[in-house]
């Protein structure tokens, strides 16, 4: 059975765990470096990226997660999780994990409207996928090997860079599991390749 970790420092952890389990995988809540052992995939949930960074430092998780990434563990970042993955953050000198070849901008969908829902068409995933945006970032620029999977108002909101999948919104807050299923398929394919 595939083991998918969910970084459990802050944010919508339980909702991700529920989707992972309903899709037939084992979900591991990750609170310290030892929980990263033997994971096939790792989900970085939404929350507040600056707070999450403080907690990553406090629990000494930043380098171990980077090491897991270097070791080939697939990672899926949603909202603040996307910010954690990015190589560059607009207005900041240094990134957090800095593993995904994208530039992200925080809080990019306006101050008046803190949150909204939209229906997305996602390449390789499907149509009419509900997406909840909460003070969401967007991908302002992407490297040439980044596959752009969805846009909202001309802005990139879902993309894949090899082993990394990142989205601006919160798929875990809906009853539509297709994006998590897509991530789990990525993990499964990768695990099959390693097994042969
Ligand atoms: N605005 C948050 C940040 O910049 C992200 C919001 C979220 O994860 N829902 O970290």
Number of domains in the chain: 1
Atom of ligand 1 nearest to the CA of 81: 8
CB 157 within 8 A of CB 146: no
CA of 80 from ligand 1 middle (Å) equals 4
Q: Give me the pLDDT at residue 49, please.
A: 96
CA-closest residue to ligand 1 atom 9? 134
Residues belonging to the active site: 79, 170, 172
Residue 51 Cα: closest atom of ligand 1: 10
- Pocket of ligand 1, beta carbon within 6 A: 46-49, 79-80, 83, 106-107, 134-135, 137
- Residue of 53, 76, 80 to test ligand 1 pocket, by largest number of atoms within 8 Å of CB: 80
Q: Long-range CB contacts (< 8 A, 24+ apart) of 28-32?
A: 28/3, 28/4, 29/5, 30/5, 30/6, 30/61, 31/59, 32/59, 32/60, 32/61
Substitution candidate for ligand 1 out of 10, 12, 16, 46 with most atoms within 8 A of CB = 46
**Residue 133's pLDDT band (boundaries 50, 70, 90)?**
very high
Q: How far is the CA of 148 from the centre of ligand 1 (A)?
A: 20
Give the pLDDT of residue 196: 65
pLDDT of residue 114: 82
Residue 35 is part of which domain span?
3-195
- pLDDT, tens digit, 9 for 90 and up, residues 87-105: 999 999 999 999 999 999 9
Q: What tokens does 192 get? A: 């099959």
Task: List the CATH number of the domain containing 31.
Answer: 3.40.50.880
Which numbered atom of ligand 1 lies nearest the CA of 50? Answer: 10
Pure H helices in the chain:
13-22, 49-58, 62-70, 80-85, 178-195
Our measurement of the distance from residue 117's CA atom to the centroid of its chain's CA atoms, rounded to an integer in Å, reads: 18
Coil/strand/helix, residue 73: coil
Q: What separation in Å is there between the alpha carbon of 114 and the centre of ligand 1?
A: 10
CA–centroid distance, 1 to ligand 1, in Å, is 31
151-160 confidence digits (pLDDT tens):
999 999 999 9
Query: With bands split at pLDDT 50, 70 and 90, how would you rate the model's confidence at 109?
Result: confident
3 state SS of 44: strand
Contact criterion met (CB below 8 Å) for 162 and 186: no
């Amino acid at each position: 059975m595939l083991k998918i970790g969910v970084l459990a420092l802050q944010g919508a952890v339980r909702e991700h765990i529920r989707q992972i389990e309903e899709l037939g995988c084992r979900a591991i809540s990750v609170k310290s470096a030892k929980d990263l052992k033997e994971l096939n995939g790792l989900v970085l949930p939404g929350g507040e990226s600056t707070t999450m960074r403080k907690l990553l430092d406090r629990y000494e998780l930043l380098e171990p997660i980077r090491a897991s990434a270097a070791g080939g563990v697939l990672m899926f970042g949603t909202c603040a999780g996307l910010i954690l993955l990015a190589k560059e953050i607009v207005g900041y000198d240094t990134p957090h994990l800095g593993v995904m070849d994208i530039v992200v901008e925080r809080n990019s969908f306006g101050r008046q409207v803190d949150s909204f829902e939209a229906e997305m068409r996602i390449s390789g995933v499907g149509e009419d996928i509900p997406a909840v945006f909460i003070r969401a970032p967007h991908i302002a620029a992407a490297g040439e090997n980044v596959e752009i999977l969805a846009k909202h108002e001309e802005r990139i909101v879902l993309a894949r860079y090899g082993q990394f999948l990142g989205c601006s919104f919160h798929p875990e807050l809906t009853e539509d599991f297709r994006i998590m299923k897509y991530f789990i398929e990525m993990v499964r394919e990768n695990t099959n390749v390693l097994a042969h």
